[in-house]
Structure 1
Amino acid sequence: MTDNNQSAEDSPATSTDTLKASGLLAGLGATIPLVAAPMAGGPSTPALVLAAAQAGGLGLLAGGYKTPEQLAAQIAEVRAGVAAFGLNLFGVNLFAPNPVPIDKDAFVEYTEALRELAATYNLSLDEVDALEDDDEWEAKVDMLVNDPVPVVSFTFGLPPAKTVRRLQKAGSLVFQTVTNPDEGEQASAMGVDGLVVQSYKAGGHSGTLAPGTPVEQIPLADLLDRVRSRVHVPIWAAGGISTPAGVRDALAHRAEAAVVGSVLLRSPESGASKPYKAALADTHRTETVVTTAFSGRPARALRNAFVDRFHGVAPSGYPAVHHLTSPIRKAAAAANDPESINIWAGTGYRDAAEEPVADILRRLAGAN
């Protein structure tokens, strides 16, 4: 349930030179090997993606939980912004369908467990049914085929091979999030252009293709080596990277780039709520937990009262549990209450600073 979250001190850098982008990332126009992770639910704003491009990295818009129309509007905003820099440097992440069906009785029991908390925000859970949807998957894929973006990445599940080919034919590079060598081989066999290899230390939802099985706690460097021994496509490393030393270590293990998320959450460009940002800076919060309590799918969050109360009773079931708890979490955020929101955070969350995204990414690349 828990993990040691004390961020390691940076060891002396082997070089004071700024790290340079290479491979596919350089081909897209990036100058540093940093990717701003797609953080669904609000944190990954167009402003954050634009700031990543301005720094010389690549930012990924989070397509999850948005309607196709909302996503299209954000793509248009980012496209216009990067064009002003003379770039075409951004991407979009989608949740590929990989549902976790929920037991009807378990859903009813969890609804009852949440009822008292919901009432504190004047919310009723009467006549709430388990909502199983695919996040408007087909419509979003069609939109990205008809209006291509430089990079499309997938999380949660493997898309059909024909979807990968459609996006590539439209001109997009396609990346798949994986958490172990077997998943890497499956994705590589589908013809994706690259992999995002995510360690267990990542904040928010795990990208595992098997959410019912705990992700093995393998250090990122070892995980990169294991995946690299089985596949021959470019790899972007993710999960717990929050310092220049962490970036250099990932690149030393043949990752083309480092994907960072939690370290950007307190930036002014982040769309994380006020209580979310404050909780990340709260020195009394010292523990992250992998839990299904908020969404029915394993995700790493800072421990709070919601976790303490519901972690042990929450069922697996995605997206049904996500939809069930979403109104409570939104009401808590509006009430500035950090105890009933999902404070997604990787193990390096202590390195999150209240400074611009561009400054954070350049520092991680060794530029300042």
Structure 2
Amino acid sequence: MSELYIGLMSGTSLDGIDAGLVDFSDDQCRVVDFHYLPFSESLKQQIRHLSQPEQPILLADYGSMDTRLGRLFAETVIALLKKTALSAESINAIGSHGLTVFHAPQSRFPFSLQIGDPNIIAETTGITTVADLRRRDIAAQGQGAPLVPAFHQSFFSRHKENFCVVNIGGIANITVINKDCVLGFDTGPGNTLMDYWIRKNLNQSHDRNGDWARSGTVNPLLLAQFKNDPYFQLAPAKSTGKEYFSSFWLEHKINQFPELPSEDIQATLCQLTADTITDDISQYAADAQETLICGGGCHNHHLVQLIAENLQHSVSSTGDYGINPDHVEAVAFAWLARQTLLNQPGNLYKATGANAPAILGGIYPGKKGLSGKG
């Protein structure tokens, strides 16, 4: 008997919505199909506006985007089901990450805010939806992020031991797995600053293959200025977001280098991402035998090459172990939905810093009850 779940993910790179249909039957994890809905440039700009810490936003804009994204998430699920010719009744549940507009786990009143109304997803698709997955961990004194290490441990440790998984989205995070412990945290910026800089200078959404960064020269003084940020000195548990590593952060840092060519700044940003990932691997996973890469950053060939050059062990793709690197996060949120419906914890609390394991998220029943099957 199949155990079908759908995971929905829209990350800090703001490229679009990933939807993965996953079969967990027989204690396996098999991706049945996948669908991607890209965001329009207009929509990306509107979402970015909601995530700028130095700018005020209107509640009307926030509420409207919450509804709009809820509809888009639901449309993505329906498109995925059409591709597979499966009915909504055959799906146990949807796990929806939503889209993070602000992540502040270390503020006086800690919070992490995702939008994409799950009521609309459940009502439109008829499928039970598990969402708002970060805030229960924060309520347990955790960071609410990263949540994927628990899935990394569950799936990849079947194939490997003593290794790392690095997810490079807008923000990069690492999972360290060995026989003694499992550790996970955000290392710092992944693609977010590079995406901003190429968008500003070349009007391109991202640095394809890292070619623009490769054309520049790393500036060691600017790199040191970047790496001097206090976040990189923090010990885990820690998490961050694009509201911290923002355009304001970057512009403030580069003001001291007014004559530096824009391609050199891009090269230095790429080196920053590579160095902060590998510095943490060297510190917290010195005995790791392999690093697996996933997330959009795996397509930045220059970045992956820099990471490999910094490490003394092999670097490969999660695709070598059964999950396309573009699909890992969506699959993880399908798994988290299953954990919640099974009344099982979804956080790796030693990674997030929570005081205990927690069953994550709110459950929004589908039209035929919690099982989604009638």
Given the two structures, how large is their TM-score scaled by the length of structure 1? 0.34
**If each structure's helix is expressed as a fraction of its own residues, which one has the higher value?**
2
Given the two structures, how large is their TM-score scaled by the length of structure 2? 0.34
**If each structure's strand is expressed as a fraction of its own residues, which one has the higher value?**
2
